[in-house]
Each structure stands twice: as structure tokens, then as C-alpha cells.
A = this chain, B = another copy of it.
Amino acid sequence: MKQSVGAKTMAMPTPVWLVGTYDADNKPNIMTIAWGGICCSTPPCVTVSLRKATHSYAAIEARKAFTVSIPSQAQVAAADFAGIVSGRDIDKFAACNWTPVKSELVDAPYVSEAPLVIECRLLHTLEIGLHTQFVGEIVDIKADESVIGDKGYPDITKVQPFVWDSCHRRYFGLGAYLGTAWEIGKTITAKES
């Protein structure tokens, strides 16, 4: 029996990403977000949603670019911090002991210490309500050598991204391997044939 819990943003899992921008003073800033995801394969695009009131919103509008640095679970405290305070008031890179790296491809910085980073040029801006959704075209992804796995692609078990629990405001790590896509489902395909 299902219960209604109301019209709330209680989808799961949602990611924990650090959106990197330069502000009007060329100061690098990051903002932690959970409202985002991949939205297109070709061109490869990622979406992040921000409130207009944030310092990062104006920066994306002005520079037409942003990065997404994906923190590892060992960086959860700093990632949480970067979602509590505003870049107007504090240098979050310095407070987190993180190093801003200027992207060579887009006008935005990323977090050197994050194992995986995405560089984006702004492709679309969609006004929805409290949040504005920015669609960024992924122009490159960069990964620490230490997290590269098979085929030269990032290994999620080495990146160790973590999940935001919007229902109870908690963070959770990545768990057990459950199966390989387009294989584990074949048990059901077989049953139908």
C-alpha cells in the first residue's frame, strides 16, 4: 500500500557535484549542488540547477561556462561546507584547501583535488521557478590517473562519488556491484522467448 508524501523533490539517488565558476572579480568559486544530471548523449550535455540568488548563477550567466568537479567520498565534509556558505563571503577553495585550476577549454575553474572533472560551455538556460537550469555541453572530461580503469575510462569504484539523500539530508557512499547492464536483464529476456 502506497502513501502520498506530497509534491516534493524526493527523487533518489541524486549526485553531489561542485559547480566551478569565475565571478566578476575573476575569483574562482565552487558551489555544491544535487539538482543535476546528464541530459543528452550527442552532444554530450550535463545539467545543473541553481537559484538566481546564488553567487554562481551570475557567474554562469556572464561567462557562459562552468565546470562540474565530482568529489570523492573522502571529501564529503568539504563538499558539504561548499554548499553551506556563499562565495560572496568566503573563498571556498582556500577554506577547503582546494586548488582552482583554470580550464584551458572554457572560462571556468575546476577543483584540482577532485578525481573527475567536467568542462562545460553553456548551451541552454531554462527558467523553471525557484531554480534555473543550465545545460552545459561537455567539451572534455578529465580524470586523475589514479582513477582510470578499463578502456581508459574513469572507474566509479576508484572515483568513489557519493549520493545526496534529499529526504533526510544525509550523504551516502557507493555500495556493492549489482550487475552489468544489458547482461543481468537477459534472464528476463530469456523467460519471454
Contact A5 B181 (CB under 8 A): no
Chain A contact residues (Cβ within 8 angstroms of B): what range?
Answer: 35 or more
Q: A35-B39, A174-B13 are in contact. Are A169 and B142 (CB under 8 A)?
A: no
Report B-chain residues with C-beta under 8 Å of the C-beta of A70. 11-12
Taken together as a complex, chains A and B put the C-alpha atoms of A34 and B78 apart, in Å, by 27
Give A72 Cβ to nearest chain B Cβ, in Å.
11
Report B-chain residues with C-beta under 8 Å of the C-beta of A137. 7
Residue A155 at the chain B interface, CB threshold 8 Å: yes
Q: Which of A40, A163, A176 has the most C-beta atoms of chain B within 10 angstroms of its own C-beta?
A: A40
Taken together as a complex, chains A and B put the C-alpha atoms of A110 and B43 apart, in Å, by 30
Q: Can you list 6 residue pairs at the A/B interface with Cβ under 8 Å? A: A2-B142, A3-B142, A8-B141, A79-B185, A153-B168, A173-B174
